Chains A and B, each alone.
Chain A
Amino acid sequence: MTDLPTDLTRATAADLAGALASGAISSVEVTQAHLDRIAAVDGQVHSYLHVDEAGALAQARAIDDRRQAGETLGALAGVPIAVKDVMTTKGLPTTCGSRILEGWIPPYDATVVSKLREAGLPILGKTNMDEFAMGSSTEHSAYGPSHNPWDLARIPGGSGGGSSSVLASFQAPLATGTDTGGSIRQPAAVTATVGTKPTYGGVSRYGLVALASSLDQAGPCGRTVLDTALLHAVMGGHDPMDSTSIDAPVPPVVEAARAASVKGMRIGVVKELGGEGYQPGVRARFDESVALLEELGAEVVEVSCPNFEYALAAYYLILPSEASSNLAKFDAMRYGMRVLPEGVDAPSAEQVMAATRDAGFGPEVKRRIILGTYALSSGYYDAYYGSAQKVRALIAQDFDNAYAQVDVLVSPTAPTTAFKLGDKLEDPMAMYLNDIATIPANLAGVPGMSIPSGLADEDGLPAGIQMLAPATKDDRLYSVGAALEAALVDRWGGPILDRAPVLGAAAAKGA
């Protein structure tokens, strides 16, 4: 077994799991180490919206007791985890980064959260996100942005920037995410961490506060491909509470990550993803990764997905349409914020709804509700929502054609490295363009993964490479991801996160 680092927060989840299983360490020790780390650095990074110290330690203690009693436990039992604040957690606040849900304590667990609890992963807390997952930077969180541990003045990606920055700053070995248009993959790319958007239906959506139901997919986030696979196996699987859940076993992701082989695979480079608008350093790291894959025994060809050009436009009709309906439930009637309109005597229910939604939703949420309401209006439905659905079918067709030629597709995950906080806040289109490479997978329901490809020369910040596989073939992502990761780490001489700046008290001392 690998020797654990003295600082337990620097260990991989797989190594922690091994040490826990052997009895070398306890879950309480590991959990406490992470709570200490959170106390030391989260003031700088602001990854967490809520830390559940007592709950996490209680769960850790319970797992230690069960292990002592000789129970057979799951592979990740005792390894702590951070949960994106979009997932309902019984007894723990769930805000989705919105004021409108401030103070709401859900009475039930999301299926993913139940699975984490059953598998014995202590929940450290809830991670920050763009409000209702609308954004690529966490700047749309009502509770303030998270910061990129590589450069605290920069964004950690979004919407899952809380989860990505948690991992990159060693405040948890694992985290959950949700990906509607890239919210797992883009944050992973800009923080040099790993994230997978599984096949649509591969992980239950029950208890995920919906953004766009037909696009949302929960998935695992980690620092290594194997860690991510281990978490994927825990989160995934059929859920009778989610009608769109796939009734089939989780693909063999852990086996694939361990095998880490691309020999004999055909890998397609998507022509339309990676040209103009992509930062040179991002492209350079991508090209090197592709060359590495070839060296590892894969056959690389270029494939064309001509309709990807329309993906962003279709996405920004479908997403707001569904979101406008999904977010209608926030009406001050049953939970969450309740605001009385000013200067109105005995306001009606409608007036309270309007005042609450006005005060409770941020500008990006309002923008998308208005867009979606418009797109679904009679007289516009066919032109907007209807056309977008046709584009969606064409994009799925592009994927089908591509997968007839290759096993896996690759592209840069995001066109640029992390931009500065505030840089794109006033320009929604520039913000939306961050997801240009990740959105097609959501529209088609196919799985995708981002792993670090290295640091861009021009700014020294992380870039990511995205792998895409056919629906239900999530395991292929892990085969390719793990093989490439091993080759890259070998080239780098160690995990890339070792090169990230030191945070916390140590950083303060050094400064």
Chain B
Amino acid sequence: MTTVATDAVMDYDEAMTKFDPVMGLEVHVELHTATKMFCGCPTEFGAEPNSQVCPVCLGLPGALPVVNEKAVESAIRIGLALNCEIAEWCRFARKNYFYPDMPKNFQTSQYDEPIAFEGHLDVELEDGSVYRVEIERAHMEEDTGKSLHIGGATGRIHGADHSLVDYNRAGIPLIEIVTKPMVGAGERAPEVAKAYVSALRELLRALDVSDVKMEQGSMRCDANVSLRPRVGDPLDQAQLAVPLGTRTETKNVNSLRSVERAVRYEISRHAAILDGGGSILQETRHWHEDTGITTSGRVKSDAEDYRYFPEPDLVPVAPTRETVETLRGTLPEPPGLRRKRLQSDWGYSDLEMRDVVNAGAVELIEETVAAGASAGAAKKWWLGEPSRRANAEGQDIVTYAAGLGLTPAHIAELDGLVAAGRLNDSMARQVLDGVLAGEGTPTAVADARGLELVQDDGALEAAVDKVIEANPDLAAKIRDGKVAAAGALIGQVMKEMKGQADAGKARELILAKLQ
């Protein structure tokens, strides 16, 4: 690990007494279309380097782009979901700059004619309050290849011995979503940033347009931060009227937690510089996940000249209003509203719902309930052992369950077996273990393992009689009305029955005999 001169930072709370933060977030989303933006190459993540390439995405002489219609549809749907206007006519543009992982040495992007513009996304914060993020634009472009720098200590180009380039990613469709300056968040700026990226991710997932895996780079966030002097409360007119300060752009902040930390760090760093009478250098910053700091990247001036001009190899994109309305009809229920509806349907408390959301189990529970389980049981089973194991594996529950073949139908079946009195809870847990071990469906596992509550009332009654006889003191307490004492007797009955009894029935019998 190289040592990096650490910048001075000001305590966050102190910074907030002196400065008002303003943010702008740029989020790049890779669409999960089957093919790339301008050619027919597959987009699958993790393939052998340079195996998903063709003359077009390698930028070979003579090759020409053709727009992926699916990607345009996804872009329009994203725009609509962000409450944007959709352009009636727009063009691609070439953004010219040299970089080895960019095959044509220009990126086919959009410049002053984005497909979607002027929208907003309402973001719910932890305390239930809502912050409206104004969206400036969402535009279409292509991803670049990936450079791998070999021989250096940091994996960055500086100090590297040589570099390798993988063009599999080159040409994958990207949507860049740019916010307007986010003002008025005050000390909650880092939380707002995180909540926005989180809400955006949830929205994109609901739209089914992207894998939105920040760790794999299919969703990447650049955070612009600037400070201006604090003159009042964040939403005071006087405060809002203060001109914006110089911004820095922190690149590739690739987890929700990092978004919050990076914004917070930059606020503290800017505050220290400004408070010391210094000025902020307009530059890009690199975020270091491990140390939680940013370091200087390249200096970026407003005069950086990409020599944009309309892409002459492509024809304009002009979606008809009918197409736009048809696509609007395919939009999912907004995630926030959907969550509220499901919470009310399922009767969960706010805390329970948050657990479910945080576990990423909303869809699993929805499908499980649809398959016949009760909402309570669905939550109990999914958030139990499967969640624990997924966490231990560092996977999300959906991926983990899919990998093991555990389905909502299985959970519903398990719940059905309990409800029908065939299994009790502890037996059901064993059955779930079997399902997770790949032994088959819950019924098959129960059959194979011989797990079944004894339904023979004669055997149960005999066990109850035996236990009452052996515990005269407890029996007397129950006769005196101390019903809670029944628990101890039930436990012994279960032991007597080797666990294969219905505890509810045992309780009924004990109470009937002693009252």
Which of B75-83, B93-101, B277-285, B385-393 contacts its partner? B93-101
- For residue A174, give the distance in angstroms from its CB to the closest CB of chain B: 21
Residues in chain A near residue B59, CB distance under 8 A: 329, 334
From residue 305 to 330 of chain B, which have CB atoms closer than 8 A to chain A? 305, 307-309, 312-315
Residues of chain B whose beta carbon lies under 8 Å from any beta carbon of chain A? 55, 58-67, 94, 96, 98, 100, 103-106, 163, 165, 303, 305, 307-309, 312-315
Are B62 and A87 in contact (CB-based, < 8 A)? yes
- Interchain CA distance A335-B63 in the complex, whole Å: 14
A468 contacts partner chain B, Cβ-Cβ < 8 Å: no
Question: How far is B94's CA from A108's CA once the two chains are assembled, in angstroms?
Answer: 25
- Set of chain A residues within 8 Å of B106, measured between Cβ atoms: 325, 328
In the complex, what residues of B have CB within 8 A of residue A385's CB? 309
Known: A94-B61, A243-B65, A330-B61. 6 other contacts (CB 8 A): A242-B66, A331-B100, A373-B307, A376-B308, A378-B305, A381-B307
Contacting pair A329 B103 (CB below 8 A):
yes
A378–B59 Cα gap in the complex (Å)? 25
Give the distance to chain B from A7, nearest Cβ to Cβ, in Å: 35
Find chain A residues with CB under 8 A from B315 CB: 243-244
What chain A residues lie within 8 Å of B305 (beta carbons)?
Answer: 377-378
Contact A209 B98 (CB under 8 A): no
Which one, A107, A212, A324, contacts B55 given CB within 8 A? A107
Q: Is the CB of A377 within 8 A of B307?
A: yes
Query: Are A213 and B312 in touch, CB under 8 angstroms?
Result: yes
Q: Are B307 and A108 in contact (CB under 8 A)?
A: no
Report if A206 contacts B (CB, 8 A): yes
In the bound assembly, the distance between CA atoms of A106 and B313 in angstroms comes to 20
In the assembled complex, the CB of A331 is this many whole angstroms from the nearest CB of chain B, namely: 6
- Bound CA–CA A36/B178 (angstroms): 64
- Interface 1/0s, chain A 363-389, versus B by CB < 8 A? 000000000010011100100010000
> Given that A329-B61, A329-B104 are contacting pairs, would A322 and B312 also be in contact in the complex, using a CB cutoff of 8 Å?
yes
Expressed in whole angstroms, the Cα–Cα distance for A353 and B100 within the complex equals 9
A108 pairs with B96, CB closer than 8 A: no
> Top 3 nearest A-B pairs by Cβ distance?
A328-B105, A213-B312, A376-B307
Chain A residues in 8 Å Cβ range of B96: 324-325, 328, 376
Give bound CA distance, A446 to B94, whole Å.
Answer: 25
Assuming the A-B contacts A240-B66, A243-B67, A244-B315, are A349 and B60 also in contact, with contact meaning beta carbons closer than 8 angstroms in the complex?
A: no
A241, CB-defined interface residue at 8 Å: yes
Which residue on chain B has the smallest CB distance to residue A318?
B312
How far, in Å, is A347 (CB) from chain B's closest CB? 11
Complex-state Cα separation, A350 to B308, whole angstroms: 21
Min C-beta distance of A337 to chain B, whole Å: 13
Q: Is the CB of A353 within 8 A of B66?
A: no
Q: Is A205 an interface residue (CB 8 A)?
A: yes
One of A240, A321, A378 near B303 (C-beta < 8 A): A378
User: When the two chains form their complex, are residues A328 and B98 in contact, meaning their CB atoms are under 8 A apart?
Assistant: yes
How distant is B302 from chain A, measured CB to nearest CB, in Å?
10
- B64: A residues at CB distance < 8 A: 205-206, 241-243
**Residue numbers in A under 8 Å from B303 (CB-CB):** 378
A213 cross-chain contacts in B, Cβ below 8 A: 312-313
Known: A208-B62, A241-B64, A241-B66. A329 touches B105 (CB 8 A): yes
Whether B309 and A349, one on each chain, are in contact in the complex, defined by CB atoms closer than 8 angstroms, is no
Return B339 CB to nearest CB of chain A, in Å.
42
- Give min CB distance, A78 to chain B, whole Å: 27
CB proximity of B208 to chain A, nearest CB, Å:
27
Q: How far is the CA of A96 from the CA of B67 in the complex (A)?
A: 27
> Beyond A322-B312, A381-B309, is A108–B100 a contact (Cβ under 8 Å)?
no
Known: A328-B96, A328-B104. A378 touches B61 (CB 8 A): no
A213 to B309 CA separation, bound complex (whole angstroms): 12
| Partner of A88 from B58, B62, B103, B314 at Cβ < 8 Å | B62
Contact of B61 among A96, A353, A373 (CB under 8 A): A96
Q: How far is the CA of A214 from the CA of B64 in the complex (A)?
A: 12
Instruction: Compute how far the CA of A243 lies from the CA of B72 in the bound complex, rounded to whole angstroms.
Output: 15
Determine if A393 is an interface residue (Cβ-Cβ < 8 Å).
Answer: no
Hey, which chain B residues are within 8 Å of A104, CB to CB? 61
Chain B residue at minimum C-beta to C-beta distance from A336: B61
Given the known inter-chain contacts A322-B312, A385-B309, please indicate yes or no for A106 contacting B62, CB distance below 8 A: yes
What would be 30 A-B contacts, judged by CB atoms less than 8 Å apart? A88-B61, A94-B61, A94-B62, A106-B60, A108-B60, A206-B62, A209-B62, A213-B312, A213-B313, A240-B66, A242-B64, A242-B66, A243-B315, A244-B314, A322-B309, A325-B96, A325-B307, A328-B98, A328-B104, A329-B59, A329-B103, A329-B105, A331-B105, A334-B59, A335-B61, A349-B100, A376-B96, A377-B305, A378-B307, A381-B309
Q: Identify whether the interface residues of B are mostly helix, strand, loop, or mixed.
A: loop
Chain B residue nearest to A354 (CB atoms) is B98
Bound-state Cα–Cα, A48 to B104, Å: 29
Number of A residues with CB within 8 Å of any CB on chain B:
44
Instruction: Let me know if A206 and B309 touch, CB within 8 A.
Output: no
With A240-B66, A243-B67 known to touch, is A325 a contact of B309 (CB < 8 Å)?
yes
Tell me the bound Cα distance from A330 to B60 in angstroms: 9
Which of A96, A107, A241: most chain B CB closer than 10 A? A241
Interface centre among B96, B105, B308 (most CB of A within 10 A): B105
Complex Cα distance, B105 from A353, in Å, reads 11
Q: A240 to B65, alpha carbons, bound, how many Å?
A: 10
Q: B198 to nearest A CB, angstroms?
A: 36
CB pair A106–B309 under 8 Å, yes or no, is no
Residues of A within 8 Å of B60, CB to CB, are 88, 106-108, 334-335
Q: Is the CB–CB distance between B309 and A376 below 8 Å?
A: yes
A207 sits at the interface (CB 8 A)? yes
Bound form: Cα–Cα A88–B105 in Å: 20
Give the residue of B63, B67, B165 whose beta carbon is less than 8 angstroms from that of A207. Answer: B63
- Nearest chain A CB to B166's CB is how many angstroms away? 12
Contact in complex: A207, B309 (CB < 8 Å): no
Residues of A within 8 A of B165 (CB): 333
- CB of A110 within 8 Å of the partner chain: yes
B55-A349 in contact (CB<8A): no
A121 within 8 A of B: no
- Asked whether, in the complex, the Cβ of B103 is within 8 Å of the Cβ of A334, the reply is yes
CA distance A330 to B94 in the complex (A): 16
Known contacts A333-B100, A334-B103, A378-B303; decide if A214 and B312 are in contact (CB<8 Å): yes
Q: For B309, list chain A residues within 8 Å (CB).
A: 321-322, 325, 376, 381, 385
A391 to B96, CA, bound (A): 24
CB distance from B61 to the nearest CB of A (A): 4
CB-nearest residue of chain B to A373: B307
Chain B residues, CB < 8 A from A333: 100, 165
Residue of B63, B66, B98, B104 near A350 (CB, 8 A) is: B98
What chain B residues lie within 8 Å of A94 (beta carbons)? 61-62
Return chain A residues, CB-CB under 8 Å to B104: 328-329
From B98, B103, B312, A353 is in contact (CB under 8 Å) with B98
A318-357 vs B, CB cutoff 8 Å, 1 = contact: the mask equals 0001101100111101110000000000000110010000
Q: Could you tell me if A243 and B314 are in contact, using CB atoms closer than 8 angstroms?
A: yes
C-alpha gap A44/B333 in the complex (Å): 75
Please measure, in the bound complex, the distance between the C-alpha atom of A436 and the C-alpha atom of B100, giving whole angstroms: 39
CB distance from A311 to the nearest CB of B (A): 18
- Rounded to whole angstroms, the CA-CA distance of A325 and B97 in the bound complex is 9
A243 touches B312 (CB 8 A): no
Q: Which single residue of chain A is at the shortest CB-CB distance from B161?
A: A346
Q: A167 at the A/B interface (Cβ < 8 Å)? A: no
Q: Are the C-beta atoms of B61 and A101 separated by less than 8 Å? A: yes
A443 within 8 A of B: no
Would you call A11 an interface residue if the criterion is a C-beta within 8 Å of the partner chain's C-beta atoms? no
Q: How far is the CA of A444 from the CA of B106 in the complex (A)?
A: 26
**Chain A min CB distance to B295 (Å):** 20
Nearest residue, chain B, Cβ from A350: B98
With A206-B63, A331-B100 already in contact, the answer to whether A243 and B94 are too (CB < 8 A) is no
List, in ascending order, chain B residues with CB within 8 A of A241's CB.
64, 66
> Considering the chains assembled together, what is the distance between the CA atoms of A206 and B265 in angstroms?
50
